[in-house]
Amino acid sequence: MSFFGCLLLPLAAVLAALARWLLQGRGNLYTDGGARYYVPDPDLGWRVVESGPVSIGLEAIGLLAAYTVVLLVGLVIARRRERRRGERIPGLRALRWTVAALPLIVPVWAFASGSLPEGASERAPSGLVEAPPDSIEGGLAGLPAGTYAAVAHRGTAITAHLSGGGEAFEARFARDIQGTWRGAPADLRQPMSADISVATAAVDTGIELRSKHAREDYLIAAKFPRIRFQLQRLLGARPAADGAVAYSAHGIVELMGTRHRAAVTGTLRAPSAAARQRLGFAAADPILLATAHFEIKISESKLKADAGDFDGDIIPIDVSLVLRRRVEAKNDKE
């Protein structure tokens, strides 16, 4: 075989990596060694799986192509030296084939990790629901009135859907979510309040370098340590076909010291005893599952100085909360 025949291996690696990138259908710029994805869940609607199949990015394909070029240059230099010497360089043949084969590790690694399971989604499904009319009907029978506190759980997360540089990705907050919902789930006409916050430093975009950039440069976590949502008013509620209650409300989102009015839609749900057990709670635990969907305009936020980094002005945000009724002292009013 030709002296340069070993170049077929890195070229094959580039083509295989490109094929993997096209099959992924994500258009991602950066390689994700364990792509996050979502699968249907009978209790939460959807649940996140953090370590999915490898998702090759364009930067990896570029590096493989650059590797091929560097190898070509190295082979040209080695070939010239052999000709000047009038004999082969000992061990060069085995070395060049070994070095040429190394890039194949990347596509083999990606393809070996598999693909998304059937029914899975690479994006968190939107929690947007049809806003009910301006009347409050229905409730969640069996849930006592009181204060329901957010608990650390796989069903507790806040997800912002972003697009920048032609790539869509998520900024997900799944830890250090604190807050409460206070009211009477069985009668939503009664007064209620909600105050939920999340640590800014908990942002996770799926790529560590991008997450660090979001944390330090965009959200400025050192100066604005928490993002907060407060319920102002419940506008409407109606029973849904699956036993949940759909609602619309007004709220305030405090982001980087700026208060944003938010039109919120979402659902409230009381899991069955079997569902509570699947979720990891005692059968008698009063559990409230809440979702919320709202949007923030970049141009109205302190992110506007970097608005050119985004492909649009709207950031859709989905909130999923698992709340457990707090045991209160007898003299506390419920």
- 272 shares its domain with 165: yes
Q: Is the pLDDT of residue 63 over 80?
A: yes
CA distance 219 to 200: 7
The domain boundary, picked from 57, 90, 112, lies at 112
- Same domain for 94 and 160? no
Q: Judge whether residue 16 has pLDDT over 80.
A: yes
Nearest CA to 32 among 58, 12, 65? 58
Domain shared by 200 and 84, yes or no: no
Q: Which two tokens stand for residue 126?
A: 């939107």
> To the nearest 10°, the Cα dihedral for 62, 66, 72, 73?
160
pTM over cut 0.85: no
Q: Give yes or no: residues 165 and 313 share one domain.
A: yes
Rounded Cα distance between 85 and 27, Å, is 48
Distance of CA 192 to the CA centre of its chain: 30
Total domains, the chain: 2
Q: Which domain holds residue 285?
A: 146-325
Residues 176 and 271 in one domain: yes
**For 64-85, what is each residue's pLDDT tens digit?**
999 999 999 998 888 888 788 7
Q: Both 151 and 288 in a single domain?
A: yes
- 95 lies in the same domain as 233: no
Clarify whether residues 213 and 305 are in a common domain.
Answer: yes
Instruction: Between 193 and 305, name the one with better pLDDT.
Output: 193
Burial 170-190 (b: 16+ CB within 10 A, else e): bbbbbeebebbbbbbbeebee
Reading the block at residue 25, the tokens are: 């259908």
For the segment 239-282, what is each residue's pLDDT rounded down to a tens digit?
887 788 999 999 999 999 999 999 999 999 999 888 888 899 98
92 shares its domain with 168: no
Q: What average pLDDT does the segment 202-226 reach?
A: 90
% of the chain residues with pLDDT over 70: 91
Q: Are residues 231 and 321 in the same domain?
A: yes
pLDDT digits (tens, 9 = 90+) for 160-188: 988 876 677 889 999 999 999 999 999 99
